[in-house]
Amino acid sequence: MRILRHPILGNLDEQPPVFIEVDGELIPAREGEPIAAAIIAAGRLKLRHTRKSGEPRGVFCGIGRCTDCVMTVDGQANVRTCVTPVKAGMKIVTQGASPEREAQE
Amino acid sequence: MTQSDTDIIVIGAGPAGLSAAAEAARLGAAVLVLDENDRPGGQLFKQIHKFFGSKDHRAGVRGYAIGDSLLAETARLGARIELGAVVYAIYPDRRVAVITADQRRLLLNPKKIILATGASENALAFPGCTLPGVMSAGAVQTMVNLHRVLPADKTLMVGSGNVGLIVSYQIRQAGGKVAALVEAAPVIGGYGVHAAKISRLGVPILTGHTVKCVHGTDRVEGATLVALDDKFRAVPGSERDIEIGCVAIAVGLTPLAELALMCGCKFTYIPKLGGHLPVHDDNMETTAAGIYVAGDITGVEEASSAMEEGRLAGIAAAEALGRVAPSEAAVLKQAVWARLNALRTGRFGQARRDAKERITAEGRGAHVV
Amino acid sequence: MSERTADVIIIGGGVIGASIAYYLTKLGVKPVLLERGDICAGTSGACDKAISMQSKNPGLHLDLALESSAMFPGLGEELGADLDYHRYGGMIAIENERQMAIMEKFVERQKNHGLPVEILSGDEARKRQPAFAPSVIAATYSPADAEVSPLKLTFAFARAARRGGADIRTGAEVRGLLTNAGRVEGVVTQAGEVRAGVVVNAAGVFAPAVGRMAGLELPIKPRRGQIIVTEPMPPMVHGEIWSARYIVAKYNPEMIRSEDPEAADLGVGLAAGQTAEGTLLIGGTREFVGYDTAVTPEATAAVLRHAVSILPFLAKVHVIRTFAGLRPYTPDGMPILGPVDGLEGFVMAAGHEGDGIALAPITGKMLAAYIAGAETDKRLRDLALSRFQQAK
């Protein structure tokens, strides 16, 4: 959720949101913030599934080191969403084996 | 970015790197700072608390304000900063390989290199530690203070060092709840004044406790805490469940020293400072001649000492290039050392100073070309 | 200072030394293996995963490779380990008519030596390997090429040898050879002497140093190969891929010069394959730079330039790591195996260049049989050090 008021940092400026598409769903974002921040603000912590067992993963380090937050962004796989800035209209897709597919196999 | 006329490349635009760049540029060196992030300042801009120490160390000033003034200083002195620039290698002949923000590949040939790459936070293993919502405390801090995003209503903080205490407070400032702060040791690790602040806000600080496991399917939904005896063994029957949506892990940092390894620097192992560290001399120069280090890469401390180490490395590198007379440089370096030593006093500081002296003792006069 | 006696001493804990140790234990001989560093810490731990048949010269070289290849399918079970062994086949991409002329002849000779291999048209090749660039005019295909994890293979040999009674010692550096009246009597290590009537030189690129302890000049030179590792991705290539330039670089690097002078200097050819983890290993170079294991930006760029020309999707893939290994080169591309004239008990097992993984089973089996006195493979005569000494 967004922190609108803050005793030190003041009110969040009201810049108009841009929209990005995450797994087909449009979510609002602040241009230039990391993709992961926008997705977490929208209430979703899971950013990928592991490749083999389909376990959920989200941001851990937040500085581009651990790569647990990677997603496919505009067709480019393994983009670190914790350090990649939002641009309006980005298409973002969750990577990895989905648990449903694992279950079928 | 061109490779001509670069005397010094500084890798990392955090407090140490910017300070190094400012000092070297002030003395007339042509300095280029490279940072893989799209904004400079490292972790300063998420630090909304006032710094400790004396007036010399900008005590009472908030971290982001220190970042602003460092950036202004660096710019005024003419050091260039290239953002979105990933340094992926330093070759044995000291060429620095970079991928720029626009995906160009560059090979730069500086006369000196200053590594100020910082540190990354440690993870902690427990069942459920990979669930979305288990994050490093620094990542939570970045989300909350920089991006104005609260990962969850209620957070469990693990670790009572200054990072755990300060981030707990900042989660509260941002309107979030901290269900508990657990600390495996029998005593609080960080400053008493930080602990007192969050205690007053009603955050339970549970020393001698740890997180036994975290549950949830697609995200953190709750955690089981457990008491530990004096041998750090779980006390049977002491488990209790809490409902939370985020677990912040504040159990120390490890220096990001890969580039120093790549340069063939000699390392030493000092757990108190974060583990494997490149040794350096009183000029912050490693055993690989012409490669300097500053900040958390030399041992995890805090921004204040990182900035002083950066200044030291900047002066020393400029001196080695003949930009400043040795007599003048000696005076400058002595002033920095005086400030550094003042920072390394007291309950926490003295132990760091002793550890740092082990590093410099190993690093003195050990250059290899 | 400990002194002990063994039947056989093997110097070197790479895939060759470990294989010989294992096959010796199968014949009831319990060797001592001395490794200066760690098991699989040298050449065997710094290579790709291909068990290539198609890159072998028709003749003894290919014969040995095919025999070795036939030993791989049951090897995992025999050693009690998963080796990541798969036989997915391999393809060599041909980019121009000049390469086509060379490959046609090469393939014809390979066929005559019993290798199942054919040349596919560009379109047929792309049907089998959609990642190939439109500029690939044709490609060979052989179902005989396979892959294995070199690390798992080497460790599996070493563990099985240990179970069979071999004494495998790491951190044990051989500093001298004990000889007497033209006979080997053992070695000197930093921890004392070890005595044995047979000493096997399986020290790979460091075999010449061991040879000098015996007063031998071995024509083995370290040849550096740089390899690039990509990020993991879904399956993009099937089986093993080489470029015709790789084959040319192996046997006659000068022929590449008119196409790309820098690539000729570095001996660049493409050898690529995707691991079970999804990363792509992309080789490589063939460079004579002594024992320098550094990677260089020039080689990374030249290898990737060549790789992208054959596999264009690589242009958008992240590289996560590069590394280099030293291959034990010999002038005729064949290993030096077996006894050495004038020094009884000294046995050579080195000089496999890039074929060590593929030839490890047959090398171990042949040399173990020879050492145990079970049988002497007649082919060892053609692989002996004496072939170079006679030429002098």
Q: Where are the domains of chain A?
A: 18-96
Nearest to A57 by CA among A71, A68, A70: A68
Within 8 A of A7 by CB-CB distance, chain B residues are 173
Of chain B residues 119-138, which have a CB less than 8 A from chain A? 120-121, 123, 130-136, 138
CB-nearest to A45 from B48, B123, B132 is B132
| B105 in contact with C, Cβ within 8 Å | yes
Q: Which residue of B has its CA nearest to C292?
A: B92
**Sequence-distant (≥ 6) Cβ neighbours of residue B147 within 8 angstroms:** A30, A33, A34, A37, A41
Q: What is the pLDDT of residue B38?
A: 86
| Cβ B158 vs Cβ B251: under 8 Å | yes
CA nearest to C293 within chain B: B92
Domain boundaries of chain B, sorted by first residue: 8-120+253-363, 123-249
Prediction ipTM score: 0.93
φ and ψ at C267, to 5 degrees?
A: 65, 45
B337–C contact, CB cutoff 8 A: no
Q: Check CB contact of A78 with chain C, cutoff 8 Å.
A: yes
> From 1.10.760.10, 3.10.20.440, 3.40.50.1370, 3.40.190.10, which CATH number describes the A18-96 domain?
3.10.20.440
Tens of each residue's pLDDT in chain B, 369 residues: 445 579 999 999 999 999 999 999 999 999 999 999 888 988 888 888 888 766 666 778 888 888 899 999 999 999 999 999 999 999 999 999 999 999 899 999 999 999 999 999 999 999 999 999 999 999 999 999 999 999 999 999 999 999 999 999 999 999 999 999 999 999 999 999 999 999 999 999 999 999 999 999 999 999 999 999 999 999 999 999 999 999 999 999 999 999 999 999 999 999 999 999 999 999 999 999 999 999 999 999 989 999 999 999 999 999 999 999 999 999 999 999 999 999 998 877 888 899 999 899 888 866 654
Q: Which of B105, B106, B109, B258 to mutate to test the interface with C (most CBs of C within 10 A)?
A: B105
What are the CB-based long-range contacts (under 8 Å, 24+) for C210-217? Answer: C210/C11, C210/C174, C210/C177, C213/C174, C213/C176, C213/C177, C214/C177, C214/C179, C214/C184, C214/C340, C214/C343, C214/C346, C215/C343, C216/C340, C216/C343, C216/C346, C216/C385
State whether residue C167 is helix, strand or coil.
Answer: strand
> What residue of B is the nearest CA neighbor of A38?
B149
pLDDT at B366: 66
pLDDT of residue B216: 97
Chains with 3 or more CB pairs under 8 A to chain A: B, C
Partner-chain contact B95 C301, CB within 8 Å: no
**What domains sit in chain C, N to C, each tagged with a CATH number?**
4-46+151-220+332-391 (3.50.50.60), 90-143+221-329 (3.30.9.10)
Chain A, window 53-72: residues with a beta carbon less than 8 angstroms from a chain C beta carbon = none
pLDDT value, residue A100: 47
Mean pLDDT over all residues of chain C? 93
The CA distance from A77 to the nearest CA of chain B, in Å, is: 16
The distance of Cα A72 from the centroid of its chain, to the nearest Å, equals 10
Closest-approach residue (CA) in chain C for B263: C294
**At residue B249, what are phi and psi to the nearest 5 degrees?**
-105, 115
| Distance (Å, whole) CA C391 – CA B103 | 53
Residue-level pLDDT at C3: 58
The CATH H-level (homologous superfamily) assignment of domain B8-120+253-363 is FAD/NAD(P)-binding domain (3.50.50.60)
Closest Cα in chain B, distance from residue C320 (Å) = 9
Per the CB < 8 Å rule, is B107 touching C294?
Answer: no
pLDDT value of position A103: 39
Q: Which CATH architecture has domain B123-249?
A: 3-Layer(bba) Sandwich (3.50)
Alpha-carbon distance B184 to C23, whole Å? 52
Series of mean pLDDT values for 10-residue runs along chain C (392 residues): 77 98 97 98 95 92 96 97 96 94 92 95 97 97 97 98 97 96 95 95 98 95 97 92 87 72 84 92 94 95 96 94 96 95 96 96 97 88 91 48
Chain B residue with CA closest to C296: the answer is B91
Half-sphere exposure of A25 (CA within 13 A, CB side): 8
Structure confidence at residue C392 (pLDDT): 46
Query: What stretches of chain C show up as alpha helix (H) in DSSP?
Result: 15-26, 60-71, 75-79, 97-112, 122-128, 150-163, 207-213, 244-251, 261-266, 297-310, 356-371, 380-383, 386-391
For A32-65, the pLDDT digits (tens) are 999 999 999 999 999 999 988 899 999 999 999 9
C182-189: list long-range contacts, CB under 8 Å, 24+ apart: C182/C342, C182/C343, C182/C344, C183/C343, C183/C344, C183/C345, C184/C214, C184/C343, C184/C344, C184/C345, C184/C346, C185/C345, C186/C5, C186/C9, C187/C9, C187/C11, C187/C34, C189/C34
Q: Which two tokens stand for residue B350?
A: 């003295």
Neighbouring CB atoms inside 10 A of C243's CB total: 26
- For the stretch B171-194, pLDDT in tens is 999 999 999 999 999 999 999 999
Q: In whole angstroms, what is the distance from residue C59 CA to residue C72 CA?
A: 20
| Terminal C-alpha separation, chain A | 36
User: Interface partners of C (3+ CB pairs, < 8 Å)?
Assistant: A, B
Inter-residue contact C263 to C245 (CB < 8 Å): yes
Neighbours of B125 (CB within 10 A): 6
Q: Which residues contact B41 (CB under 8 A, 6 or more apart)?
A: B13, B14, B15, B18, B64, B67, B70, B71
Is residue A104 predicted with pLDDT exceeding 60? no
pLDDT 10s digits, C293-338: 999 999 999 999 999 999 999 998 999 999 999 999 999 999 999 9
CA atoms in the 13 A half-sphere facing the CB of C43: 31
